[in-house]
Each structure stands twice: as C-alpha cells, then as structure tokens.
Structure 1
C-alpha cells in the first residue's frame, strides 16, 4: 500500500508524461519486473515525509498497553510493512488476552493455552520489541519471520529470561533464531543487558516491563550505544504516563503507574526517511520537506549536522587545492582532510550518507558500524558494492568503510550502472538519490524493498521530477 499522491511543484523531464493518479499503478507494474531504471536529473518540489517508523512502533505498543491501540495515530494510507507487522501482531496479542480473560475464573493466559503465531515478516523491531512483551503478558507465542530475519540474533534475551518466570525455546535445529517459542510469564524485577548491542533489546524490555506488576530496573553492563533510540523509547513511554528514569548504570521503572493515555498520540515525521531527500539536496536538488519537526528525540536528525560537517571539510580541501595550484604544486588526493562518521548512534544513515560522502572532495571514514552486518543485508558489504557499481572507490574496514569522494561540482559524480539492493530498503533509496548526480541511468534490483519503510518513496520521487523507467509527471 502506498501513500496518496501529494501536490508537488515538480520539475519536468524527458519521458512519457503521466497524470499523477497513474503513477502508483505504473510503479506497481515496474516493481513486478524486479528492476527500476532511474534517469539522471535533479529533483524539485515539496514533499511530506512519512511518519517516523521508530516512533510508530513504540507508540503502537504503548497505546496497546494503555488499552486502546488506536490512540497511536498511524496514517493507514501510508503504512510501511514493518509497522503493519507490529500492529497486526499487537491485535493478535489483544485477541489472545481477551480469550484468556473470558475463560474460567477470568484467568490470565498460561502454559495451558495454545501459542499464538506472530509473523514479524522482515521487521527486527517487531521481533525484538514483542518477545519481552509476550513474556510479560504471559501469552504463549510462536514468533516466525522471513527474509534475513530468522538469521538475525535475539540471543541477548537469553540471559534476561533466566529466572524471569518466562522461557524462550528455539524451534529450528539448524541454529536460526526463528521460529521461537515464548512461554511462561516474566515478572517485574532486576535485569541486565549489554549496552553495546542493538538498542531494540533495551527498548523492548523497558516497554514490556512498564506493564508488569511492580518496580523494575535494567542495568547496562557496557556503555550504551544507539542512545537516541532509547531516548525516544523513554520519551514515548512518558507520553503514556510511565515513570521511567535513566540512572548511572541503566534505567528504572517505578511500577506505580501503568501505561495510560486518553487522547491521541500523533506520530511525527521521520528523519530517517527525510535523510534521503536531504542528501538529494546536498547533491544539488531542491526538495522542500514540509513537515519535519524542529525539535525531536529522533537520533537520525544527526544527518543535518553530518552533512554540514562534510561540507566544511570539502571547503577546506578545496581551499588547500587552490593554494597548491597557485604554488604550482600537485595535490595528493590521499592527503586530503578526512571526515569521520561514527555510526554507533545512527546506523540507519550509513547507506545514504555514503552517497553524500562519495560526492564530496574528501576521504570519509565510517566507523563503529559493525552491527550493520546483521541488518536487512550485510549493510557494510552491500553499501560498498553499491558505491563500486556507481564508480566510487571505497574499502571495507574492520568496523566500517573508507570512501574516496569526489566533488559534485561537476554535477556527474556517479557513473551510473546496476545496483543490487540485496532487498534492503535503504540501499534502494540511497541508489535512487545517487541517480540525481549520475552520468547515466542507475538501475536498481528489487526496488519493491522500499515497502518495508517508505512505500511511497518512488511516487514522491517521480512527483518531484524524477524519471523512472522513462516515466514522469511532466
């Protein structure tokens, strides 16, 4: 499902001009072919960014725990596959709770109840958020998934479950995480997790424990990474009346106030998706993002400062090269000033930021990105492959990438070519952004992956003047 078409002041370009109403159907046909061709050309116009996927997951869970999932105002016309998976799962949990409570003596769920099955599709957030929730609510649950999700780890929950009253059982004999069976009932209490693993473990456990009977404490045994995502979790929890505090070694939940809210919770626009348009602007497009919040707990707002910092480094490198020319010296590209991106707190920005870095006169080192290897693709390797396909020199390092960028002043900093998205939504959109500054068509395999997070991305792209497989809205 895609978002309704919006009014954009889009630039015209060559190709078959279509009415905006026809774009969605045409793109659906193209998705079925498994490959899109994006013609070079800048974008121009207004765009409304979809709701924050990170905030929407959290809002749905807290609204569900408050007794009314509809308190989380999700734009159903623009919902991504991941958010659809979470909402569907919560509705199944709600039915299971209702069935248990309607039984003899209004009993809670127990091990005697048949497990419900929750299909998380390819959503790591859905899986890691709902594992502890099923345990705290005492709902016997079998989790399944598709794509790379069964290979993505959930082992950090093993230590949490020990002595908690709940159990997790792997049902696959080959070592995959899924199918996974959750039984028993997790109690409020003291729990420990490493801070340098996916923040989804921490966020999932905090939200689940907010509905447990009694106070809980979560101690982090290592330094916290991806802090902005946990900050967002706490902010949403507080918006639903939960008393959660950050302490020197972790977090505490008083247990005195269960999740509760009576008015709607509006989910703000997503900086993670806005980053693609902001990088397009960095490459010379003129996209006006109409609905971005100026104040937000979203960590991916860091894209604004990252692009600003990248630009400053390029300016200094350009000035150094001008001095070399005046002095009759040859500039050594390997001695340019280096820009370093620390990906610990903003891993989702790496693919599109790599496109910005490739179009900048500097060396960019992306560091502390190890966890990207277990995303929808091995996102370090797939980002490197994307850059190589587009003619950009790069090197995979122990914890990230080193990119040898070139100035976008010449307008055509990418070669064009075929990019394998590895069915990773962020690779698809990053490659499309690169096409705005390419010398030839950029072909993208498996573009339908955008349905995972930004279903209307290519509708917006075309409405902004982009040309996809020769079509545009003129």
Structure 2
C-alpha cells in the first residue's frame, strides 16, 4: 500500500499521542518473563516484532517431540534473542528462520559464542546466517568473549539467558563497545527483577538465579525511537507547534532518549511532566552544519538526516556501522532516497555527510513538485517509511509500501492523521 501525504492547512497543532511500550524493553522482558513467569508486564509494545517474539516464546508451553519451525520474518531482535533462549531449552529442537533479508543478516558471532558455552546450533543453509537449527542443551561453561563493536543484540541475548546458566556468565568484550545504552538497558532490567550484575571495564558478569522471582509488575516505558518521528515533525513545523507523548521517563534506559539534547539544535524543547513529555518548537534555529556521533543511538540516524534535509541544514553523522546489516543497508537506502529528493549526500561504511541546501526556499521548485507519485522507497524497513514521512510538511510525498511501519509502530499513520496530516491511498 502506497500512501500520499501532504501538509494540513492547520497552522499550529496541540495534540496528544499515546505511544506503546519500547520494542527494545518489551522483547527483553518477554524473554525474561518466559524464564521467570512471575513477571507481570504492562504497556507492552504492539509492534510486529514483539508479537513475533511473544508467539515464539509460547512454544515452550506446548512440548512437542518434533522439531518446530519458527519464522521471525524481519524481526532481528527476535532472531538474536530467541537463538539464545532456545539454546538453553533442554530437550527441545527448533529451526529459526526469517525473511529473505533476515537470511542475509549475520548471526555467526552469537552462534559461535553459544556453542563455546556448550550449545548445539548448526546452519541449515549458508554458514553464518539463518536459518539455524537449535537443539536445547544444559550449558555448562560460563566464560566467553566477543568483539565489542558487534551488534549489542548479540551481547544482550547472552546476558538475558545468563541467570539460568548454572554458573552464571562472565562476558569479555574486546575493543571499543558499540551501543552501550542497550547493554546497560539489559543489565538494568535484570537488576530490576533481582538478578545481580556487574559491568567493569570490558567485563560483564551476571550471576546464576535458580529460584523463582517474587511476583513483579513492570511498566514498560514508551518507545523513544517512535518518538523520534514526532521530534522531526515538530522541528519541521512552525514555531509554537507542540505535541504531548506518553509514557516517558526523564531517566530513561533507552539510548534514543538522546533525542532530547539533539533536537535542541533544531529549536525543539522537551518538557517532562509526570509520565509525559511535551515537545514544542520554540525558535527557528538553523545552523549550517551539525555533527553527531551516534554510536549509542544509531536507530535515529535516518530521522536526523531527514530532519536536516527538510530544514536545509547539512550534517555529518558517524558511528553508524551497525546500519549496514539492518532491515536494509540503511546508509545506502538514505543516500538513494535523499538523492532522489535533490540532496547532495555521501556515505561510508559508518558515516553520512549531507550538504546544506535551499531546495525548500520560497519560490524554488522541488524535484517532487508535479510528480507526487514518484515516491520514497522503503526497502521493507519501517524506519525508512517513518523517517521520511515528516517531509510531507515541506512537499507532497508518496511513501511506498507504507504498511511496513507495523514492524515497530502500527498506529503511526493513524496518529499522523490525528495530528493533521492529509493521508490518502496513492
């Protein structure tokens, strides 16, 4: 389904949007809930990824003598976390598979680490890539090393199962660590349910926890990655425009909460009030070029790049090497789609450079004017669809395969209409 978006005639908006729980927190806690059933979860994510995760974990409640096949589709987090989870399910055998893109996303580093701990995991097709066959075992080893610059999901997958390993886990990270906030998020959630952890220098330790935990309700914070698109919308709107989002914490575990500081550069202020944030455009502040190192929050790189383009600002974004192995190669996808819109942009393996421009200056014609069906390709990537949507405030836009947003934010288009965007099927 392709959607045509354009700016509402309303000049200023004051709305409120309920954003469901963080996909990152939800998927971690769903796995922990499967290991410790007394966990009670509130405000879970309604994303496709979390639904896939929840459905896969229910298999443990239905013992089967035959090998069961689990398709995680595009859900990278589910693939990594479930690989570790099923590795410790003694007597159970599963085959984990996914979409054609998932079969191109590497998993060898995680599989090697689990096999070193005593797991039995083999490849069904290509060495180092899904689908994989997992025969659940009792893991006896408790020490393993990983390169520190790999996806934090590999690291978190190991940490989440650590309390159920007989001797806990001592994980050594070699080199400079990527996405530290996501590792700290995992450790904080373990601590919250009573698991002892430590993170000193490049060594992480998680203790064995044999007994059940006491009944423990956890309210999951809403997703900061989903909030990023609203930050972009406010940045591209007129001064005075604002929106309130719930439920968010000032001391968030999510790395993408860096949005609060980053978007001050675009004249956007954030006010915390109880469990809500109100973000509002307070000034038209337009630096020529902005520089951000996004090692700790790579998922908001697309949003920031598009915001800068919409405002005519240049940007240099670095620390983006993990974007090459996401739902698509996000750096190349950004380059292709922004170039189509008239941007001058270059990318490397871990960075993006966007030149300042005046395409949207009053009186200028834009590459999309007169051909609104020349839409933005989304590459089966939810973040491509949502990151580009705010540009409809500058020029009528078509988002191709718009349904892809269900991967993380199913209500996105409905919420945009509530805010005042005009949305039609193209």
- The verdict on a shared fold, with TM-score over 0.5 as the criterion, is yes
Residue 122 and residue 50 in structure 1: after superposition, are their counterparts in 2 closer, same or farther (change >3 A)?
Answer: same
**CA RMSD, 1 decimal:** 2.5
Superposed displacement of residue 91, structure 1: 0.7
Matches for 1:19-418 after TM superposition, within 5 Å = 34-41=1-8, 44=13, 45-68=15-38, 71-75=40-44, 79-96=46-63, 113-138=65-90, 139-172=92-125, 174-175=126-127, 177-185=129-137, 186-256=139-209, 260-284=213-237, 285-309=241-265, 315=285, 317=287, 336=288, 338-406=289-357, 410=361, 416=368, 417-418=374-375
Q: Is the 8 A contact 1:66 1:261 kept in 2?
A: no
Q: What's the TM-score, normalizing by structure 2?
A: 0.86
Aligned residue in 2 for 1:105: none
Higher RCO structure, 1 or 2 (CA under 8 Å, sep 6+): 1
1:430 aligns with 2:382: no
Aligned to 1:442: 397
In structure 1, distance between residues paired with 2:134 and 2:226:
33
Aligned length: 397
Name which of 454, 458, 463 aligns with 2:413. 458
Q: CA offsets per residue over residues 389-411 of structure 1, 9 Å max, x none?
A: 32222122342211123479958
Q: 1:207 to 1:431 in 2, by over 3 A?
A: same
Contact 2:377/2:399 (CA < 8 Å) preserved in 1?
yes
- TM-score, length basis structure 1: 0.78
- Give 3-state SS (helix, strand or coil) of 1:213's partner: coil
Unaligned 5+ segments in structure 2 are 269-283, 369-373
**Bigger mean CA deviation after superposition, 423-432 or 393-402:** 393-402
Kindly indicate which of the two structures has a greater share of residues assigned to helix: 1
List runs of 5+ in structure 1 lacking aligned partners.
Answer: 1-33, 100-112, 318-335
| Cα distance in 2 between the residues matched to 1:225 and 1:353 | 19
Whole-angstrom distance in 2 between the partners of 1:80 and 1:388: 30
Measure the CA separation in 2 of the matches of 1:95 and 1:187.
25
Larger strand percent: 2
Any idea what SS the aligned residue of 2:106 has?
coil
